Structure 1
Amino acid sequence: MSSTDLTRDSSPAPGTSPHKGETPSQPQKLPMLALLALATAVFITSLTETLPAGLLPAMGGDLGVSESATGQTVTIYALGTVLTAIPLSTATAGWRRRRLLLAAMAGFALANTVTALSTYYPLTMAARFAAGVAAGLAWALLAGYARRMAPAHLQGKAIAVAMAGIPVALSLGVPAGTFIGKVISWQAAFLLMTGLTLILLGWILAAVPDYPGQRPEKGSSPSMLSTLKVPGVTPVLAVTLVFVLAHTILYTYIASFLDHLGMDGQAEIVLLVFGGASLLSIWAVGTLINRHLRTLMIVSTLLIAVAGGVLALLAQSPALAYAAVVLWGLGWGGAPTLLQTAAGDAGGEQADAAQAMLVTLWNVAMAGGGIVGGILLDALGTASLPWSVLILLVPVMAVVIAARAHGFPARRNRA
C-alpha cells in the first residue's frame, strides 16, 4: 500500500481528522495508543463471542431454555458474522474508517446491553446475531486499519499489536468472564462488555486517526469471485479455514480432553499457560514478520502439529501435556497476524474484500470446529481430538509450501 508523503507540519493533531479527502501523514513509528485501541476492540469482540460458553447453566435458567439451546447463542453470533461480513464490508467501503469503526462498536454495545437485560430467548438470539454482525464488520476493517497507521516496514508489527486481543480474550478473558458470571451474575458479565465498549468509543475518538474509505470507481467494485482470482488470495483463505478448524476442534473441548488425561480441574491453568505462550508468539511474529512471513507460517504449523502429536501419543504425563500446550500457544498466538497480513498482501487493491472473506471463513471454522469436535467426541472418543489436528495440518502445510510465489511468498511485496 503506497502512502502520500506529507510534511510534519501538515499532519493533523492526535485524535483529529484530516481535511476531507486527505489521509493522515505516515508515522515513522508505531502509534501505540491507537493500535491498543484496535487491540481492545479485538479483545472485546473475541471475548463476547465465546462468553456464553462459561455461563450456560445460569443463562439457560433465566431464559427458560436448555443448556444446549443456550449454547446456540454462540452459534448465532458466528452466523451473524458469516452472513454479513462480506456484503457489509462492500457496502461500507466508501465510509471513513473511524466513523465505520465507531458505528460498529456502538452497535456492539447496544447488542450486548440487550443481551444482558433480555429475559426472552428469541430477543436474546436476535441481539446475539446483531452482535455478530457488528463484530464481523469491525473485524473486517481492523487489520487494514492497523496497516494504514504504520510505515511499510512496521505494518506486520502493527497488525500483531492489533490482533493481540485474540489470545488475551481466549486465555484470560473467558475465565475472568466466567468468574464474574458465577460471583455476580451472567448479566453483569455482558454489561461489563458494554461498559468496556463505551470506554473504547471515547478512546477511539481521542487516539485513533481517521482515514478515508476506498470506494471503488463505478463498475469496478470487486466481487467475491474477482477477489478469489487474485493470485495468492485463495491459498491464504484455504489455509485460514483449515488451520483455524484444526485449532478450534481441540480448543473447544480442551476441558473434556484434560479430564480424559486425568487432569480434571486444570483447564483454567492450562488456558493461562496457553495464553502466556501465545503472547510470546505474538511478540516474536511482530518482530520477524516483515522479512519472514512464510517461514513463520511454516513454523507455526509445525509447532501445532508437534503439539497435537505429543497430546495424541505422550500426554499421559502432565509435564508433557503442559509442554505440548506451550508449543500449541507458540504456534497459535501469531497466526491471526500471519494470516491477516498474508491476506492483505495477496489482496493488494482488493485487500479489504480479502480481509472480509478471511473473517467470514474464520468464523465458519470456529463454528465448524465445535460441530466437528462434537461429532468426533461422540463417535471416536476424546483421544481422537489431537489426531484430527495432525490430519488437518497436513494439507495446510502442503498449501503453504506450494504457495511460494503468491499467498505465502518467499519475499513479501510491501509496496
Structure 2
Amino acid sequence: MPTTAPTPPVTTALRFPLPALLALATAVFVTALTENLPAGVLPGMGETLGVSESAAGQTVTVYAIGSAVTAIPLTAATAGWGRKRLLLTAMAGFAVANTVTAVSTDYRLTLAARFLAGVAAGLAWALLAGYARRLVPPEQQGRAMAVAMAGVPLALSLGVPVGTLLGRVLVWWVPFLAMTALAVGVVGWIAATLPEQSGRPGGERTPVRRALTVPGVVPVLTVTVLFVLAHTLLFTYVAPFLDRAGLGDATDAVLLVFGLASLVSVWFTGAHIHRRLRRLTVGGALLVAVAAGVLGLWSASAPLVYLAALLWGLGWGGAPTLLQTAVGDAGGARADAAQAMLVTLWNAAMAGGGVVGGLVLGHLGTGALPWTVLALLLPVLAVVVGARAHGFPAERR
C-alpha cells in the first residue's frame, strides 16, 4: 500500500507573537494614559485655558463620554473593515487629539479634542481584546490578553506620575506632545508587526440586542459595571481620603504600591486564566473587598493602608483581562458586539464612579468611600458565583 510521509509539526503558527502583543500593549498604554493624564496637570491646563481646575477636570469626563456614546455604533459601522486598518485609524486619532490638546488655548477646542480622543479609545478598546485573542491558539489566549492589557497598570502606576513630573518640571502640554510621538511610533510598530485580521464578511453587523441574548453576556456586563464603579470611585478620591486620614504626603507611595501590585496581578492572571478564570475573578473581587474593609476600619494606620493598597492592586490588576476574556468567551460569534458593549459600560461606570464618589464624599465624608466600595462588591461576588454555567463557568470551553 502507498504510504504518506508524516506532516512535520507547524511550530511557527504556535510561536508566541510577543512583538505584536507588545505593540498592542503599547496601544493600550496610550489609550489609558491619554484618558488619565489631565488629572496630573490640571492647574497648568486650567490656567492656559482660562478656566478653573474643576472645569479643566471635565476634559476627563468628556473623554469618557466620547468612548461611551460611540463605541457601539462605530463598532457596528466598521464591522466590515480590516481590524489592522481600524486600529491604525484609532491610533492616528490619538495622535491628532493629543496634538490639538497640547497646542490649544481655547477651552471648547480642547473639549472637542478630548471627545475625539474618547472616540478613538472606544474604537480601540472594542478591537484590542479580540485582536490579542486571535493572534494565538486557544490555550495561549489568556497569556496573550495579559500581555496586551499590561498597558493599563503601567499607564496608571508609571505613565501618570512621569507625565505629571514632566508637566511640573517643564510645561503642562509637554506630556501630551510626548503622547503624540508615542502614538505615531505605535502606528509604525503595528504596521510592521501585526497581521491583518478581516472584519465580518460583507460588513455584516451584529445588533446589540442579539448579543444580550447570548447566555453569559449579561452577567459579565453586570460584574463589569459594578466592579469598575467600585474601583473608580475609590481611585478617583484616594488623595482626599488619605489626606483626611493624615497620610496625604504618602499618596504617591500608596499609589506606587497599588501599581506594582497590579503588575504582579497581571502576570499571575496571564499565567492561570486559561483554567482558572472563575476563581481569579472571585479572588480579585474578594481581595478588593478586603482592602476596602481594611481602609474603612484602620485608615489611620500607615502600615495597614499600604497593605490595603497591596491587596487592592492584586485584586484589580487582572480585572481588565478577566472581564474582557469572559465577555469574549460568552459572546462567541457575537464577541465583537459584546466587547463594544463592555467598552461602553466600562466608560459609563468610570464616569459614574466620579459622580457617585463625589456624592458620597460631599454627603457622608471620606470615611464612607471604602464601605460604598464594599457594598458594590457584594453583588459582584454573588453574580460571579451564580454564573457558573455561563459567564464565569467553572471550566472554560
TM-score range with shorter-chain normalisation?
A: over 0.9
Can you list the C-alpha shifts for 1:81-113, whole angstroms capped at 9, x where unaligned? 001001101111111111111011001100110
Aligned to 1:149: 135
Given residue 27 of structure 1, which amino acid in structure 2 is its aligned partner? A
Q: Quick one: distance in 1 between partners of 2:257 and 2:361? A: 24
TM-score (norm 1): 0.92
Q: How far is 1:315 from its partner?
A: 2.5
Q: How many residues align?
A: 391
Equivalence for 2:267: 283
Q: Deviations over 1:175-233 (max 9, x none)?
A: 11111111111111100100000111111111111111124676xx3211111110000
Which SS does the other structure have where 1:186 is aligned? coil
Is 2:172 aligned against 1:195? no
- The DSSP-based 3-state class of the residue aligned with 2:280 is helix
Q: Which residue of 1 aligns with 2:21?
A: 35
CA distance, structure 2, for counterparts of residue 247 and residue 280 of structure 1 = 18
CA distance in 2, matches of 1:358, 1:193: 25
Tell whether 2:119 aligns with 1:133.
yes
Q: CA, structure 1 residues 204+73, in 2 after alignment: closer, same or farther (shift >3 Å)?
A: same
Name the stretch that deviates more: 401-410 or 259-268. Answer: 259-268
Equivalences for residues 309-328 of structure 1 within 5 A: 309-328=293-312
Question: Which 4+ stretches in 1 moved above 6 angstroms?
Answer: none
Q: Are the equivalent residues in 1 in contact too, given 2:79–2:203 (CA < 8 A)?
A: no
Does the 8 Å CA contact 1:29/1:151 hold for their aligned counterparts?
Answer: no
Mapped partners of 2:250, 2:181: distance in 1? 30
For structure 2, which runs of at least 5 residues remain unmatched after alignment?
A: 1-6
Q: How does 1:116-127 map to 2 (within 5 A)?
A: 116-127=102-113
Task: Look up the match of 1:95.
Answer: 81
Q: Which of 305, 314, 320 is the matching residue for 2:289? A: 305
Contact kept, 8 Å, 1:172 with 1:271, in 2: the verdict is no
Q: Structure 1 regions of 5+ residues with no counterpart?
A: 1-6, 12-24
Query: Could you say which residue in structure 2 is the equivalent of 1:4?
Result: none
Are 1:46 and 1:165, in contact at CA under 8 Å, matched by a contact in 2? yes
Candidates 113, 129, 133, aligned match of 2:99: 113
Corresponding residue number in structure 2 for 1:227: 211
Measure the CA separation in 2 of the matches of 1:206 and 1:265.
Answer: 44
Matched to 1:60, the amino acid is G
**Quick one: distance in 1 between partners of 2:202 and 2:389?**
27
Q: Does 1:50 align with 2:62?
A: no
AA partner of residue 130 (structure 2): G
Q: Does 1:185 align with 2:168?
A: no
> Cα offset for 1:385?
0.6
Is contact 2:216-2:392 (8 Å) kept? yes
In structure 2, the residue matched to 1:212 is 198
Q: Deviations over 1:358-388 (max 9, x none)?
A: 0111111111111111111110001011111
The structure where helix makes up a greater share of residues is 2
Aligned to 1:14: none
Write out per-residue CA displacement over residues 123-176 of structure 1, whole angstroms, 9 at most, x where no aligned residue: 110000001001110111000000000111000110111000111111111111
CA contact (8 A) 2:81 2:203 kept: no
The 10-residue stretch of structure 1 (339-348 or 51-60) with the greater mean CA deviation from structure 2 = 51-60
Determine which of 221, 241, 250 is the counterpart of 1:257. Answer: 241
Q: Which residue identity does 2:366 align to in structure 1?
A: T
2:51 corresponds to:
65
Distance 1:196 1:8 in 2: 41
Residue 27 of structure 1 contacts residue 149 of structure 1 at CA under 8 Å; is this kept in 2?
no
What's the secondary structure of 2:126's corresponding residue? helix
Offset of residue 242 of structure 1:
0.4
CA RMSD of aligned residues (A): 1.5
Structure 2 CA distance, aligned partners of 1:235 and 1:243? 12
Cα distance, 1:201–1:28 mapped onto 2, change above 3 Å:
same
Amino acid at match of 2:298: L
Q: CA deviation at 1:26?
A: 7.9
Amino acid at match of 1:206: A
Query: Partners in 2 of 1:311 and 1:155 — Cα distance?
Result: 35
Distance 2:203 2:210 in 1: 15
| Percent identical | 64
